[in-house]
Amino acid sequence: MSSESFSKPSFNLDSTFPKKLVEIKAHHYNQRCGHTYNLFREEQDADSVAPNWFNKLMLNLDVSPSPGWPDNFGLKLYSQFPNTANDIKTLALFSGAGGLDIGFHDAGFQIVECIEIEEDFAKTLEINSSRGKRFSNTKIFCGDIKDYNPKHEKIDFVIGGPPCQSFSAAGARVLGVRGINDDRGVLFKQYVRILKELQPKGFLFENVYRIVGAQGGKSWKIIQNSFKEIGYSLFWKILDSADYGVPQFRERLFIVGLREGSYDFPFPTHGPDSQDSSPYYSAGVAVKGLDVPDIIGPLSGRHGHLLNAIPPGLNYSYYTDRFGHPTPLFGWRSKFSDYLYKADPAKPVRTIKAQGGQYTGPFHWDNRKFTLDELKRLQTFPMEYVLYGGRQKAIHQLGNSVPPQLARILAMSIRDQVFGNLPSVKIDKLPPNYQLKFRARKAALTREYQAKALASISKIAVKGNIILDDISDKFYAKICDDLIFSVSKRPIKSAKLVRYDFKNNELFIFSGNAKREPALEIVVIPEEGLKNSRRINKIRLTTSTLSLQATTILWKSLEHLSRIFFYKDDLVQLFGYYQYRIKHAIQVYISQEAEENEAFWKLFGYITRGRCVGSPIHLEELAEILDIKRFALINFLKQLKISGYEIRSCNTNAQIEKDMVIIPYAFPSLNHRSLQRHTKL
């Protein structure tokens, strides 16, 4: 959009308005945003609150803090920078959908070219770089950055953040942080290569904050040295987007590198760390007034109804033993923190994820999905900005982006300090060693939501406990090739008879012919008894048939009974997520029938006892322990995976090194809904 479309109020507030007019405008601004403080005081006490530099700027640009205000702020800000030959020519690397690029564009940086490997993301950039759009005349390079050779005569500044999966929380949950041991973790070298060739005055590098502590700080040290070796001084800080006018808590690392001079990050514009404790831009305000199509209904599926009872701000952990829920379907830390996460309208939302499953939040406090327009507001993407593709593709792009409003603030401060041609507005700077307090506030917010959960759960009417002793019953069970487990009280084709009973705090499950000697028995002794007055000191799983299918039916029968008597959704919830689980003593007895396939049952026993579970192990090491050939081991692992055991390798999870495997659980944890079921070893 051309700058001629907007008026150009001066940034110099004090010289533009008479003092009385300034006070009147400040009064109306306070009324619009709900503030009670005075922005401008002729005299202030030593202990008085300093005025917020950003509120002065909003007032001067005549931007009201109403729903969607960042869109108007971006347009008004851009109107201050007409296209001239002196524009700061900027190259955008790893552009994604262009969140960082939007912010720098609006602060008067000329985005000369965007580099992006993902075709869908590049199409978004192409749409928004067509005539009359935001990035008019910007070139788009869609391809691997390794194949990109810059040919520009002059580039003043470079921006971008390489893909962060190697350092992300999701990656760490799979197998720690691989960092620079992953191909994506060394993309910063391409960033360095381009900087070395173009020699710009400076750059801004964005990534997840875990990069600082990854691999004991080794990765972070290598990255810093790589930039320093080509002549750049580094200034870095971990920032939370909510502190800069984004209705979303999103912590990211930002590095500003300069060939000359120094740089200080701007003072937060919102939140307790701002100069006047200006309130956060909340999710409720951000999405207010947007249309919600009738097709956006309540969440569906197996766990959809659970969202209704969860208080705003909480997630699946509401249904855990930790909070004392009477039907604790989930184990503590057994899911990602955004599973069934319901946003709190009074606060910014948690980080919007690029990818997730059916129950990945944030969800609206009205127990539904957010619309795409609402998600754009929560990420401060302009309403008129087009995202190519359907809903999931658009969310993928939004979740991978830097919020444009945060990018605008950083771009303004860089223009002011590095290029010295920002109109006369004073952006207050953070002292170099200033400690932002959003981490401490995060812990306090967690305690606040925990108290809310406990208060809510205390009102739930608790039914009388089921007395487990002297309960005996039976059912017929079968498991299909797609891992669908079926249970019936009547005989069904291909089903196995399963008997169970509770006696003396022991749960006994038996499958097969009762007249035959047990062919296999698994005994689980929990380190801590099962909670909620249903204490089980021992679980015995026994079958008269020595087959992998028979053992899987035993485990799945335990899972079925767990939902009825322990209120646990599956075996993972019963025994705990493998990185946080309570340890259990597990013993396995296998009859002489195993001699026909001794090597396989030796592996089965090894896994069931937890000897190679939960940690990465090399294929050669495991083959040597079992005294079998590598190819035989791989075939055995494939058989286990088909039967529902989760086996991870470099082909299923990029974070895992070649020739290493992880077997997270001693039992078959996969079912017909599991995404891992479709991956190949």
Q: Round to whole Å and give the CA distance between 347 and 342.
A: 12
Spatial neighbors of 351 by CB under 8 A, at least 6 apart, are 248, 249, 250, 251, 338
Q: Round to whole Å and give the CA distance between 526 and 435.
A: 44
H or E segment to which residue 253 belongs: strand 251-258
H or E segment to which residue 237 belongs: strand 233-240
User: Which of 33, 114, 164, 650 is the catalytic position?
Assistant: 164
Report the DSSP pairing between strands 485-488 and 471-479.
Answer: antiparallel
**Number of Cβ atoms within 10 Å of the Cβ of 102:** 28
**Number of Cβ atoms within 10 Å of the Cβ of 107:** 24
Q: Round to whole Å and give the CA distance between 317 and 339.
A: 9
Q: Does 164 participate in catalysis according to the annotation?
A: yes
Q: Round to whole Å and give the CA distance between 280 and 249.
A: 10
Locate the DSSP E strands across 367-518: 368-369, 471-479, 485-488, 496-503, 506-511
Q: Round to whole Å and give the CA distance between 493 and 478.
A: 9
Counts of helices then strands in the chain (DSSP H, E) = 19, 18
Burial of 131 (0-12, 13-18, 19+ CB in 10 A): exposed
Maximum C-alpha span of the chain: 99
Are 292 and 371 spatial neighbours (Cβ–Cβ below 8 Å)?
Answer: yes
The catalytic residue positions are 164
